């Protein structure tokens, strides 16, 4: 039995706050949803750490959008569908691509984001899987930071958004099947409280921390999809965990991203002998979609019995490299590597959850009143593998859509406290100490449910997870313990979906099923919790050729 809630509580005894909409998360999705919503309602934005901590902040590459008259939306749609390996929702993809350019213009004009330009024209970079240069960037390789700063400045001026920092959203609260807000843990005062709302938006990011090596900050523990799952929402495509090919490989150090844009500028991916590893593997060579680059890297590293390869930029203009990639240049220099003179050691690291909480094109989950935006959501635009720089874009586009839907549908009556809700159980003693278990879990996930999987490795992971199932009945009162339960829950869903999918597609690679099985597996795996048990089903992805796509009517005025 999976408990419905992470901890025992009784809303009757807890302090409470009321607002129109609760937004959980402070990356691009959370900030921009809150800013759109605040134009017509009162918002509480809760973030588990400080406002300054998010995956958006460390995003380097940029925002993919058709901003150049020589580019076309058809081409961006096509590249996204190809990267998604047959599992993108074509309509949602068309929405993403169609509305993206307006969202980028708003960042420039309304929020004064300082994107890189030459003579007043946006500089556009090329990244893996894109057939054109279409990635807008800022300060060379600090795009996420610029977007966060621009939206963050606006948020701090906004009187209608109440920001709660260090507020961990523990669980969603439902009444009559509708989401009515959430239970929060105030980390600074070590207290619980309830936030009652008429709509709730999960924008809490991904789950990279589930893996021992990740480009994500440690806050990415899968809280959003895990709590939505416990509340009964459908979670899908979670087996498609994207590994970024090039994280700086320095043993024992957190993984620092080396942007794909560096390969767009001509960096070569080579082995220890200096041989290019992508040549002849894919027509786009180093710029092949990420899943293909990672699969090739794993193959070469296995053959050569090494744990990293190299990026080489020494043939490129050193001045341009320093100017175009100042963050990467400085970070590597601090680590003792002058990238204009030395090769950069790189290895893949968990980077992005392509699946998540299933939503429609307006960001609505299956639970009335619950929306999901950004990495936590499965809008269908990423399919089995996200195209580079489509993630900031997704956050911006669907934030606008969610706000527009909430504006049209928010119940007219003011928010009132929900009905009394409570939960209690007898806690079991933990078998394994919390920190040790977190480390073991991350290691097992990397070794067995990582870039290349097999029935054997997945069954080993399943056994490990089963042995530690008592963790779900342990009452951890600290946030680290609650995060561990979320990581555990996501690990169970990822491992079981990966075991079920007997094929290789996108970011899901099976050594024992190396081919893509269009006949049986052009399908999504959906998981949902019903009466404490996981219910799993599959759903076919209808294929539509891109030329048949109609962009759904926009709600914008």
Nearest to 44 by CA among 199, 189, 243: 199
Q: How far is the CB of 94 from ligand SIN (least distance, A)?
A: 20
Q: What is the DSSP letter of 424?
A: -
**Closest to ligand SIN by CB, 80 or 197:** 80
Contact of 347 with 178, CB cutoff 8 Å: no
Decide whether 60 or 404 has the Cβ nearer to ligand SIN. 60
In a 10 Å sphere around its CB, with 0-12 CB exposed, 13-18 middle and 19+ buried, how is residue 46 labelled?
buried
Residue 118, SS3? strand
Please name which of 439, 442, 448 lies closest in space to residue 210, comparing C-alpha atoms. 442
Q: What minimum distance in Å lies between the beta carbon of 245 and ligand SIN?
A: 9
Edge to edge, the sheet with strand 199-202 lists: 161-164, 43-46, 21-24, 199-202, 370-372
Least distance CB 22 / ligand SIN (angstroms) = 27
Rounded to the nearest 5°, which phi and psi values hold at 496? -70, -35
Query: Residue 82 and residue 257: Cα distance in Å, rounded?
Result: 24
Q: How far is the CB of 263 from ligand SIN (least distance, A)?
A: 8
Tell me how far, at minimum, the Cβ of 393 lies from ligand SIN, in Å. Answer: 9
Give min distance, CB of 140 to ligand SIN, in A: 11
Pick the closer one to ligand SIN by CB: 152 or 395: 395
Least CB distance to ligand SIN at residue 145 (A): 12
Which residues, including other chains, have CB under 8 Å from residue 136's CB and lie 6 or more apart? 62, 63, 64, 65, 67, 104, 115, 116, 122, 123, 124, 143
Residue 340 near residue 265 (C-beta atoms within 8 A): no
Cβ atoms of 419 and 16 closer than 8 Å: no
Q: What's the alpha-carbon Rg for the chain, to the nearest Å?
A: 22
Q: Which residues contact 308 (CB under 8 A, 6 or more apart)?
A: 249, 301, 345, 346, 347
Give me the least distance between CB of 127 and ligand SIN, in Å please: 6
| Sites of contact with ligand SIN (CB under 6 A) | 59-61, 259-261, 388-389, 391
Rounded to whole angstroms, the Cα distance separating 200 from 192 reads: 18
Q: In what order do the strands lie in the sheet with 268-270?
A: 241-248, 344-353, 309-312, 268-270
Q: Are 5 and 423 in contact (CB under 8 A)?
A: yes
Q: Are 371 and 202 in contact (CB under 8 A)?
A: yes
The least distance separating ligand SIN from the CB of residue 284, rounded to whole angstroms, comes to 15
CA-to-CA separations, 535 to 233, 351, 493, 501, in angstroms, rounded: 11, 27, 11, 16
H/E stretch holding 484: helix 479-500
Please identify which of the residues 290, 324, 343, 462 carries the catalytic annotation.
290
| 290 part of the active site | yes
Q: Residue 64 or residue 529: which is nearer to ligand SIN going by CB?
A: 64
**Other Cβ atoms within 10 Å of 185 Cβ, number:** 23
Of 311 and 367, the one with the shorter C-beta distance to ligand SIN is 311
List of residues 6+ apart from 251 with CB closer than 8 A: none
Helix ranges (DSSP H) in 16-68: 28-37
CB 363 within 8 A of CB 35: no
CB nearer ligand SIN, residue 192 or residue 248: 248
Closer by beta carbon to ligand SIN, 289 or else 418: 289
Rounded Cα gap, residues 96 and 101, in angstroms: 9
Q: Which CB atom, from 198 or from 290, has the smaller least distance to ligand SIN?
A: 290
Nearest of 205, 81, 82, 103 to residue 147 by alpha carbon: 103
Q: Which is nearer to ligand SIN, 194 or 391 (CB)?
A: 391
Please report which residue ranges of 48-161 form alpha helices under DSSP H.
73-83, 90-109, 143-157
The smaller minimum CB distance to ligand SIN, of residues 364 and 391, is found at: 391
**Residue sitting closest to ligand SIN (CB):** 61
Report in angstroms how near the CB of residue 322 gets to ligand SIN at its nearest: 17
Return the number of the residue (267 or 437) whose C-beta is nearest ligand SIN: 267
Q: How far is the CB of 376 from ligand SIN (least distance, A)?
A: 16
Q: Which positions are catalytic?
A: 290
């Amino acid at each position: 039995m999976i408990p419905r809630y992470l901890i025992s509580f009784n809303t009757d005894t807890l302090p409470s706050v009321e607002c129109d909409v609760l937004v959980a998360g402070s990356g691009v999705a959370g900030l921009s949803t809150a800013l759109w919503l605040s134009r017509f309602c009162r918002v509480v934005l809760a973030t588990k750490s400080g406002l300054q901590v998010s995956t958006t902040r460390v995003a380097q590459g940029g925002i993919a959008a058709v901003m150049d008259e020589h580019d076309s939306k058809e081409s961006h749609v096509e590249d996204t569908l190809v990267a998604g390996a047959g599992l993108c929702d074509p309509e949602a993809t068309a929405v993403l691509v169609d509305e993206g350019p307006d969202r980028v213009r708003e960042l420039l004009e309304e929020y004064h984001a300082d994107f890189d330009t030459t003579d007043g024209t946006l500089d556009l970079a090329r990244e893996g899987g894109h057939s054109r240069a279409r990635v807008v960037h800022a300060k060379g390789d600090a795009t996420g930071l610029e977007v966060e700063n621009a939206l963050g400045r606006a948020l701090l001026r906004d009187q209608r958004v109440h920001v709660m920092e260090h507020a961990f959203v523990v669980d969603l609260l439902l009444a009559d099947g509708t989401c009515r807000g959430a239970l929060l843990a105030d980390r600074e005062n070590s207290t619980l409280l309830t936030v009652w709302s008429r709509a709730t938006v999960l924008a809490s990011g991904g789950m990279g921390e589930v893996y021992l090596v990740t480009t994500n900050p440690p806050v990415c523990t899968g809280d959003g999809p895990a709590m939505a799952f416990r509340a009964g929402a459908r979670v899908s495509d979670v087996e498609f965990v994207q590994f970024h090919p090039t994280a700086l490989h320095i043993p024992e150090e957190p993984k620092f991203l080396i942007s794909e844009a560096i390969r767009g500028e001509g960096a070569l991916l080579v082995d220890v002998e200096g041989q290019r590893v992508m040549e002849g593997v894919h027509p786009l060579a180093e710029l092949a979609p990420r899943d293909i680059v990672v699969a090739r890297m794993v193959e070469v590293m296995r053959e050569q019995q090494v744990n990293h390869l190299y990026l080489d930029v020494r043939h490129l203009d050193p001045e341009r490299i320093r100017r175009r990639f100042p963050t990467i240049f400085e970070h590597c220099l601090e680590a003792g590597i002058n990238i204009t003179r030395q090769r950069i050691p790189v290895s893949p690291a968990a980077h992005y959850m392509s699946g998540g909480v299933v939503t429609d094109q307006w960001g609505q989950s299956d639970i009335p009143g619950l929306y999901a935006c950004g990495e936590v959501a499965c809008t269908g635009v990423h399919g089995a593998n996200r195209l580079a720089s489509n993630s900031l874009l997704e956050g911006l586009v669907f934030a606008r859509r969610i706000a527009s839907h909430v504006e049209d549908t928010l119940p007219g009556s003011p928010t009132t406290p929900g009905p009394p809700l409570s939960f209690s159980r007898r806690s079991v003693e933990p078998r394994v100490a919390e920190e040790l278990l977190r480390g073991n879990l991350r290691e097992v996930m990397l070794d067995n449910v990582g870039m290349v999987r097999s029935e054997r490795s997945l069954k080993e992971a399943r056994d490990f997870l089963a042995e530690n199932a008592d963790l779900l009945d342990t009452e951890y009162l600290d946030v680290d313990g609650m995060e561990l339960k979320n990581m555990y829950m996501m690990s169970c869903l990822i491992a079981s979906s990966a075991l079920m999918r007997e094929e290789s597609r996108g970011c899901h690679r099976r050594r024992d099923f190396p081919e893509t099985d269009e006949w049986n597996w052009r399908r999504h795996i959906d998981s949902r919790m019903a009466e404490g048990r996981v219910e799993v089903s599959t759903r076919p992805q209808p294929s539509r050729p891109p030329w048949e796509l109609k962009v759904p009517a926009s709600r914008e005025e």
